[in-house]
Structure 1
Amino acid sequence: MGGTKYKHFYGNQSEQFTFYKVPKQLFVDEKFHNISAEAKLLYGILLDRMSLSSANGWRDEDGKVYIIFTVEEVQTSLGCAEKKAIKLLNELESKCGLIDKVRQGLGKPNIIYVRNFLERGVENYVERQFLNCQNDSSGAVKNTVQEPSKGQCNNTDINKTDISYTDPSFYPENHERKDEASDYYNQSLIDLKEKLEYDSLAISYRHHLGMLDEIFEILNDTFTSNNKVIRIGGDDKPAELVKSKLRKLNYSHIQFVMECMLENTSKVRNIRQYLLTTLYNATHTMDSYYTSLVNHDMYGDY
């Protein structure tokens, strides 16, 4: 029998260890069944860090205890890759609301609030996040680190009544076919989110989930549309040409579009058209943008 052979326990020797405490309710309560065992273990690790933060007086102006626990620390603690660490944090935040993450900006690590699910229900947490995502100064993040960013304030200029998420031509009148179309639409959205790494984007843009979801829904509406032409920037273009160009988008392009939207200070009347046009042009615009930055760095002094 290979490998290291460890000694047996005698008497109370097992009490010499320190332990991470993972609440039993995470395993027996049905509302946490959609959370992976690794995410539950991570919650126990974050709880352990909470006791240290509390002892050191890490509290915000409202008296809530917070911790600093980076993606790298998650990787080290669980022995996993960066993508897995991000996914586990997203599980705790988006699926069940066991944590809140607050971006500090300026290269600083995120602040994490670990929620006490024994005192507050979490069933409607995700829905509340969509309602609060345009106001990052409410609730848990009040005056913790910085004032709301310009991009977050600019979102109030977006007129969401102009948004139409679904293309009517996609859904036939026949109810059976409509159900099939709906299944196809939902599966397409799942595949799209996997391809463009939605989970990672959702962590980075936690306070702008509404805008991020609009981007994915607009993309999916376009891919599943039966229209022969699609309007881009005021011009009708062949649908297959538009879809072909949008299929070239990757994680970085979605990041680029999000940053452009957050930096935009002008009022957007038709957010759907604006976003679709920005996405359509993203591959060319992003390359041109970074090329101009390189040229500026190389030749700016001249």
Structure 2
Amino acid sequence: MPEAAISDYFYGDEAEQSIYFRIPRQLITDSRFKHLPTDAKLLYGMLLDRMSLSFKNGWYDGGGRVYIYYTVEEICGDMNCGRDKAMKMLADLDTKKGVGLIRRVRQGQRKPTKLYVKRFTTGAMPSQPATLKPPPFTPFSGVDFSGVQKSSSPTPAGRETRRAGVGKTDPNYSHIKLILAILIHLSIPPASGGEQIGNGAIRTESAGQRKY
């Protein structure tokens, strides 16, 4: 990773290079302000920058609202324009003739006009992401779901069907019982004196007699 390089000092007005005017994005992209001239949008960003000076100087009215001072002469000097052009930009931003982003309050007696810079919102809601829906259920091929019980609560008809089926004997079950009986019989050890022979038969000898 390259080592961070430390730049030289700031000299004179070079510190101003890191200070920028901020213009709200909606002022550029929203249709409500499409007709507003670009110079007026830039002036609005410059008026917002003046708010920091109001905070430092404590320029608040009786209702706690912040105002700024930015004379027409100062606008002409900063924007490099004539007085008519400066007055036109203020009128485009004003609440009476323009879009309502500033309100001018004249004080008279050769005092500078107070400028109230307003915040704004377009009221537009951001688009919501599309809701992803789960794919429809597709049963596996070759699997029969016709006999699957669909409801966890048995219906009266379902109970009657099960009762009718209780009395029926499954032939496979009878066959299994027969096999188990034979296996149990083959596992029983022969009685005393007897000998087990094929097929489970037992041969015994008692008192000279032979039985099969």
TM-score (norm 2): 0.48
- Report the structure, 1 or 2, having the larger strand content: 2
Larger radius of gyration: 2
Higher RCO structure (Cα 8 Å, ≥6 apart)? 1
TM-score (norm 1): 0.34
